Amino acid sequence: MLFRRLLAGRRQTEPPPQETDSTCYRAASYLPLRPWQVRRRPFTRRGRRGVDAAEVRNFLDQVAGDLADAYKALSASRAETARVEAEFRQWRARQSRYAHNGHTR
């Protein structure tokens, strides 16, 4: 139930990802976990054999940190890709002007 509420709230506040990976076979409605979701994930005790809350919290913090690092690397990669594409467009425009001015190699 909590998961459904979390997902429902997430769909309202965050747009679905725009980019698609051709090697990924997930449903279009799949939304990846965000670090804040991992950090805020509640765990409940079930009877006498509950989980160690400190151990779970440490693990979740580690997972959230890893996710944050992955998103940071992804963002840097996308920025680098955009920079390279912009430079390529500029180079192509210069080459086009050069060719149109009657210059040949």
Q: What is the pLDDT of residue 76?
A: 95
Q: What is the pLDDT of residue 75?
A: 94
pLDDT at residue 2 greater than cutoff 60: no
Q: Which two tokens stand for residue 40?
A: 């805020």
Establish if 3 belongs to a structural domain.
no
Q: Tell me what percent of the residues of the chain surpass a pLDDT of 70.
A: 70
CB atoms within 10 A of CB 3: 8
Full domain range(s) for residue 90: 55-105
Query: Which amino acid makes up residue 5?
Result: R
Residues 54 and 42 sit within 8 Å (Cβ to Cβ): no
Establish if 72 belongs to a structural domain.
yes
Stated pTM of the model:
0.52
| Mean pLDDT across 88-103 | 86
Establish if 21 belongs to a structural domain.
no
Q: What is the pLDDT of residues 43-71, one digit of tens each?
A: 777 677 788 888 888 888 888 888 889 99
CB atoms within 10 A of CB 100: 8
Establish if 98 belongs to a structural domain.
yes
**Number of domains making up the chain:** 1
Q: Which two tokens stand for residue 48?
A: 């006498």
CA dist 74 and 66 (Å) reads 12
